[in-house]
Amino acid sequence: MSYLWLALPVGLVLTLALARLARLRPSFRPLVGPFAFSTLAVGAWVLVTEGRLAASNWILLLILFPLVVFFVRGTGLAFQAVFRHRQGAAPPALLDSVIAVLLYGIGAAVVAHRWFGVELTLFLGTSAVVGAVVGLALQDSLGNLFAGIALHTEAPFRVGDWVKVGDRDGKVEQISWRATRLRTWDGDTLTVPNNEVARHGILNYSLPRRPHSRVLSIGVSYHTPPNKVVSVIEGLLAQVQGLAPDPAPIVRVVGYAESAVHYEVRYWIPAYDDYRRIEGEIHRLVWYHFRRHGIEIPFPSRNVYLHQAGAVDGAESPTTRLQRALRGIDLFRPLNEDELRSAAGRFRALHYAGGEKIIEEGAPGDSFFLIDSGEVQVSKKMGGFSRELARLMEGQFFGEMALLTGEPRAASVVAASDVDVFVLDKTGFQDIIGANPEIAVDMSSILAERREALSQAQGDVTHRFDAERNPAELKQRILDRIRSYFGV
């Protein structure tokens, strides 16, 4: 009786302590129930040894069963701790299940042979025949099981990795004893049997865990020099958010096709999940940058070109819109009709995507911009912060001081939406002002009037001139800069 009074209180205290530990460490919860029943089993065992409870095989089985369960679960927790310490992650559920089944089998065999006198040799001989029959019937299921064990042993991928199995790819969500579940890009669940996974090559996009490279192929017309194409693509890649800074993107010529020169763009991304978003952003910017720099993405040579469709009846042509807009700008007021048409013919049409920077504060420039459609945002750094000065829309312009004097930009202009602009640079205006130098005098008067009347945030927001108290001095200063810049 003394053993019983000692075993039960100690077991109860240990059970309460284990329950308290399970609240702090949830991984110990599977041990609380088996340990409590094991404590009762020890008490029953003491009663049997002291003769207070009749010994029988069923009583003995009820005593040994919770002990075996407690032993298996405790061994499983120890295995998980060792695996997590060595691999840095929890073991797969399939591996836990296989180890638990093996331990239960060993425990049942020991109990049957040691306490119930079951001869295991005869059982093993019979089980071999039964196993052969069951193995033939469950050939596919057993193949999936052992393939799953091999996948866990070699660990070519883990839960959360992006993989490609055969011609199918997705994110690994679960690896069970029978199959591997993938979540596709469309959000669907794809279940692939483990033996099929083991038979195919496995491409793991998530290993090694460092920036991954992607490749795009772009075809460009033979009329554009490769150096220009490479420079433009490198410039647009600098604007793509999410690219890994190291290694830097690489652009190179990879071949000559029937109708295009093929360029390979290789870039690196921190995570494979982002590649579709980044790839789409690169394709989007390619159109705008190529259109703006006059780079053609050719149609296949088998296409048949009939003719260019004429303008829609009633629609105003870009040239007409440009000339009409120039007549409303006081800067071009000194030009006669012939000079105005000549100037309009020297403008280039450019396209900018929303969010692109058109000009940057402090950068050199010699271009005048007239907005054909869209909206731009003008900002300037003041006190260490960027401050919005104005928003310009269709028909408005900026950059006249850079065109006439070549002064650096004093503000940044960013496309607030997709923007179409007409651009005139120094080269396009050189012949006009060279043929009629008196235009410079009139233009200097107009600019002086604007500088005297407008505030810093108005007028030509891309350059700042301090207003002079003497308008004549301001006019002369601007005139001297125009003459010096154009050499007239």
Domain region containing 417: 318-486
Q: Cα separation of 67 and 297, whole Å? A: 75
* Residues 160-185, mean pLDDT to the nearest whole number: 82
pLDDT of residue 37: 66
Say if residues 447 and 368 touch (Cβ distance below 8 Å): no
Partners of 397 in the β-ladder? 370
Helix 426-435 vs helix 438-453: crossing angle, to nearest 10: 120
Are 344 and 412 part of one and the same domain? yes
Are 452 and 341 part of one and the same domain? yes
Are 275 and 359 part of one and the same domain? no
Q: Cα separation of 459 and 397, whole Å? A: 9
Q: Which pair of structure tokens corresponds to residue 413?
A: 């202009």
CATH code, domain carrying 322: 2.60.120.10
Q: Which pair of structure tokens corresponds to residue 363?
A: 């950068």
Least confident of 71-80, 294-303, 309-318, 406-415: 309-318
Are 200 and 286 part of one and the same domain? no
Are 342 and 475 part of one and the same domain? yes
pLDDT of residue 302: 57
SS3 assignment, position 313: coil
Are 47 and 80 part of one and the same domain? yes
Say if residues 236 and 283 touch (Cβ distance below 8 Å): no
pLDDT of residue 137: 44
pLDDT of residue 128: 52
Last residue of a domain, which of 96, 118, 140?
118
Structural Rg of the chain based on CA atoms: 40
pLDDT of 413 over the 60 cut:
yes
Q: Is there a domain that residue 126 lies in?
A: no
pLDDT of 456 over the 50 cut:
no
* Residues 289-313, mean pLDDT to the nearest whole number: 70
Which candidate, 190, 181, 28, 219, places its Cα nearest to that of 92?
Answer: 181
pLDDT of 164 over the 90 cut:
no
Which is more confidently placed, 197 or 276?
Answer: 276
Cβ neighbours of residue 118 under 8 Å, at least 6 residues apart?
112
Are 82 and 29 part of one and the same domain? yes
Looking up tokens 């295991």 gives 120
Percent of the chain topping pLDDT 90: 15
pLDDT of 246 over the 90 cut:
no
Least confident of 175-184, 226-235, 360-369, 421-430: 175-184
Q: Is there a domain that residue 238 lies in?
A: yes
Q: Is there a domain that residue 59 lies in?
A: yes
Percent of the chain topping pLDDT 70: 67
Last residue of a domain, which of 179, 204, 229?
204
pLDDT of 176 over the 50 cut:
yes
pLDDT of 408 over the 80 cut:
yes
Q: Is there a domain that residue 424 lies in?
A: yes
pLDDT of residue 254: 93
pLDDT of 100 over the 70 cut:
yes
CATH code, domain carrying 158: 2.30.30.60
Using one digit for the tens of pLDDT, what is the confidence trace for 338-362? 888 888 888 999 999 888 889 988 8
Whole-angstrom CA distances from 267 to 40, 242, 252, 471 are 66, 11, 12, 55
Are 340 and 461 part of one and the same domain? yes
pLDDT of residue 230: 93
- Domain count across the chain: 4
pLDDT of residue 116: 62
Least confident of 49-58, 215-224, 257-266, 446-455: 49-58
Q: Is there a domain that residue 124 lies in?
A: no
pLDDT of 22 over the 70 cut:
no
pLDDT of 107 over the 80 cut:
no
Are 254 and 390 part of one and the same domain? no
pLDDT of residue 50: 59
pLDDT of 261 over the 90 cut:
yes
Are 200 and 217 part of one and the same domain? no
Q: Which pair of structure tokens corresponds to residue 264?
A: 């390979």
Are 270 and 361 part of one and the same domain? no
Are 229 and 194 part of one and the same domain? no
Whole-number average pLDDT of the chain: 76
* Residues 127-152, mean pLDDT to the nearest whole number: 54
Least confident of 152-161, 205-214, 260-269, 456-465: 456-465
Q: Is there a domain that residue 132 lies in?
A: no
**Segment of 191-205, 211-225, 462-476 carrying the highest mean pLDDT:** 211-225
Q: Is there a domain that residue 80 lies in?
A: yes
Q: Is there a domain that residue 131 lies in?
A: no
Model confidence band, residue 220 (pLDDT cutoffs 50, 70, 90):
very high
